[in-house]
A = this chain, B = another copy of it.
Amino acid sequence: MATFMDVHHGMTGITADQLAAAHQADLDIEASENVQFKQAWADPASGTVYCLSEAPSADAIQRVHERAGHKADEIHPVPLSV
């Protein structure tokens, strides 16, 4: 398992309810890919969403996001943190 930050663009105007629903859609199916989404942050003005997760691979994260209806634009492993 490793830590990843994935980024979604084009989410301009996302609301708190929409962010919560999107995150819940990930949580509902994440176990099938052994992914654990930890936190997500959204900037409705620029349409950027950041998701922090623990996962076996970037591909596993993308499969969850795709099945939940919101493919990630970038997925970066972040092996270092402070």
Contacts and interface: CB of A to CB of B under 8 A. Distances in A.
A50 B23 contact: no
A43 B77 contact: yes
A43 B81 contact: no
Contact of A45 (B16, B20, B43, B77): B77
Interface string A5-31: 100000000111001100100000000
A81 B41 contact: yes
B81 A39 contact: yes
19 contacts: A3-B41, A5-B43, A15-B80, A19-B80, A19-B81, A19-B82, A23-B82, A39-B81, A39-B82, A40-B81, A41-B52, A41-B80, A41-B81, A42-B78, A43-B78, A43-B79, A43-B80, A44-B80, A48-B76
